[in-house]
Amino acid sequence: MKIVFATNNAHKLAEVQAVLGDAYELVTPRMCGVEEEIPENQPTLEGNASEKSHYLRARTGLDCFADDTGLEVEALDGAPGVHSARYASDGHDFAANNRLLLRNLEGVANRRARFRTVISLLVGDEEHLFEGVVEGRIVERESGAEGFGYDPLFVPDGCDRTFAEMSPDEKNAVSHRGRAVRKLAAFLRARGEK
């Protein structure tokens, strides 16, 4: 089954394809002729995911899904949250975002945080939302070379390594996106069996 995934991020595409497996072929917006930046102007992760999936559906007419992810840091009142990708600037500058986060947590003892992903799936005329959450903490310096975004700073509960120190399979087994995508995959499988 082909399904449009609202991302052109190769890392995210690979993560999601690994969880969904061979039963689904992910198609990017670019493959469908959607070259422009997909809007995400809502104040919540749920709102952004929904806005992106509806935008893609309107442009392509195809079944699609979109996700939005936020890193929510307790000591920063949930920031960067919905602004995670653009925390330090208007662009997706992962290095600048990580530097700003570390600077904002200097001298802070409470380093509890959680990653949260919300997926909006549009199939037929129905929208379905799936959420994945992983609790953890922010380390004091970047560690690891895998993944992207805040992965070098985040250690999930029950682990002693950052996401960036894990293989893609290890990360997918415990990550917020992996949890949300597994819910999406279970829903799609159940729907296909009907």
Please report, for residues 19, 69, 90, 117, 175, the alpha-carbon distance to residue 179 in angstroms, rounded to integers and kept in the order given.
9, 12, 28, 9, 6
149 is in an annotated binding site: yes
- d(CA 159, CA 157) in angstroms, rounded, equals 5
68 is in an annotated binding site: yes
Backbone angles phi, psi at 65, to 5 degrees: -145, 155
Q: Let me know if 63 is a catalytic residue.
A: no
93 is in an annotated binding site: no
Which run of H or E residues covers position 172? helix 168-174
10 is in an annotated binding site: yes
11 is in an annotated binding site: yes
151 is in an annotated binding site: yes
Q: Tokens 């290095």 — which residue?
A: 95
Classify burial at 92, counting beta carbons within 10 Å of its beta carbon; exposed 0-12, middle 13-18, buried 19 or more: middle
177 is in an annotated binding site: yes
Catalytic residue among 67, 68, 77, 160: 68
97 is in an annotated binding site: no
* Catalytic residue annotation: 68
Residues contributing to the annotated binding site = 7-12, 68-69, 148-151, 171, 176-177
Give binding residues for Mg(2+) as ranges: 68
The binding site for substrate comprises 7-12, 69, 148-151, 171, 176-177
